[in-house]
């Protein structure tokens, strides 16, 4: 098992890529704290892991609340006896608009994509230090390494995530704490429709939501969108000891879209 005896948590773990990651890590032997604001979704993932013989602890949290962003770390460590990894997967697509942007939407995008992961990571580092090291993974996006016409705000904050990863990787490398980012492209989850099928895009291009999804998601070089489990598999590598000399990296999982 590639994560045997590892203890970690994943935020936004109740659905999509987060759910796939929680199931995959548990399958590989990890004890997983499953964090989400969706209470029913958390319970369903935890139940699925336990029924398969794995270890999971559900935590319902609103990560826009700094206290919750810290609490999830301590609660996972207490539940299982330590902390070896964190996948900061929580995020938000942000507003489509730029002209006439409601700055409250900017604040929300910064809070969910950048502030929450900073606060959780700050709390996690001492726990990892006590274990002699660990691994941190942040979900950025292909929009975090190139511009996004669908949401310049999202692109800005995800570039911030990549910058944070690079800085933290250098800062904590000598303590055995690795820090990496994963950058999904179009992945077939509910978030895909929210992101690429914005109302302004539908109006401008004269396409409905599903037409836009097909236009955007199937134009990768591989001719299809990714699947949640494909991102989870990449995350598994970056968080496992197999990536022991990988830090400060941003791994694209995008079917070649950013080639």
| Within-domain flag for 258 | no
Residues 190-237 have pLDDT tens digits of: 777 766 656 666 555 566 667 777 777 778 899 999 999 999 999 999
| Within-domain flag for 259 | no
47 and 88 together in one domain: yes
Mode of pairing for the β-strands spanning 134-139 and 177-184: parallel
Per annotation, catalytic residue among 154, 156, 179, 185: 154
**172 is annotated as an active-site residue:** no
Mean pLDDT, residues 10-39 taken together? 98
Q: At 90, phi and psi to the nearest 5? A: -60, 145
Domain count, the chain: 2
44 and 25 together in one domain: yes
Residues 113-144 have pLDDT tens digits of: 999 999 999 999 999 999 999 999 999 999 99
Label each residue of 91-122 as H, E or C: CCCCCCCCCCCCHHHHHHHHHHHHHHHHHHHH
**CA 71/CA 114 separation, integer angstroms:** 17
Report CA Rg, the chain: 18
Contact 184, 235 (CB under 8 A): no
Using the predicted structure, report yes or no on whether residue 103 has a pLDDT greater than 60. Answer: yes
- Higher-confidence position of 27 and 151: 27
| Within-domain flag for 145 | yes
Domain span including residue 159: 7-185+230-252
104 and 198 together in one domain: no
Report residue 124 as tokens. Answer: 């996690």
Could you tell me what percent of the chain has a pLDDT over 70? 93
Contact 20, 232 (CB under 8 A): yes
Q: What is the largest CA-CA distance in the chain?
A: 56
Q: Is 5 exposed, middle or buried (0-12, 13-18, 19+ CB in 10 A)?
A: exposed
86 and 210 together in one domain: no
Mean pLDDT of the chain: 92
| Within-domain flag for 177 | yes
**CA 30/CA 3 separation, integer angstroms:** 5
Nearest Cα residue to 141 out of 131, 126, 154: 154
96 and 207 together in one domain: no
| This model's pTM is above 0.75 | yes
102 and 205 together in one domain: no
Give the per-residue pLDDT at 213: 72
Residue 38 maps to which CATH number? Answer: 3.40.50.720
Determine the angle formed by the axes of helices 66-80 and 116-130, rounding to 10 degrees.
30
| Within-domain flag for 2 | no
| Within-domain flag for 171 | yes
């Amino acid at each position: 098992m590639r994560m045997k005896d590892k203890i970690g948590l994943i935020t936004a773990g109740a659905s999509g890529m987060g759910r796939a990651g929680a199931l995959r890590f548990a399958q590989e032997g990890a004890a997983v704290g499953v964090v989400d604001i969706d209470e029913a979704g958390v319970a369903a993932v935890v139940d699925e892991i336990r029924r398969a013989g794995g270890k999971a602890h559900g935590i319902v949290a609103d990560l826009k609340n700094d206290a919750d962003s810290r609490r999830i770390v301590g609660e996972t460590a207490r539940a299982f006896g330590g902390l070896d990894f964190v996948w900061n997967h929580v995020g938000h697509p942000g507003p489509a608009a730029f002209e006439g942007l409601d700055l409250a939407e900017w604040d929300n995008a910064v809070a969910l994509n950048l502030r929450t992961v900073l606060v959780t990571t700050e709390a996690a580092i001492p726990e990892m230090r006590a274990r002699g090291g660990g691994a941190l993974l942040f979900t950025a996006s292909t929009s975090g390494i190139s511009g996004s016409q669908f949401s310049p705000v999202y692109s800005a904050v995800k570039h911030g995530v990549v910058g944070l990863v690079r800085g933290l990787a250098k800062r904590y490398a000598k303590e055995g704490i690795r820090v990496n980012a994963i950058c999904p492209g179009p992945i077939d989850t509910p978030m895909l429709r929210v992101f690429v099928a914005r109302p302004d895009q539908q109006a401008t291009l004269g396409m409905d939501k599903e037409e836009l999804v097909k236009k955007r998601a199937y134009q990768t070089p591989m001719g299809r969108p990714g699947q949640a489990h494909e991102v989870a598999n990449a995350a598994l590598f970056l968080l496992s000891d197999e990536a022991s000399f990988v830090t400060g990296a941003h791994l694209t999982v995008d079917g070649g879209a950013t080639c």
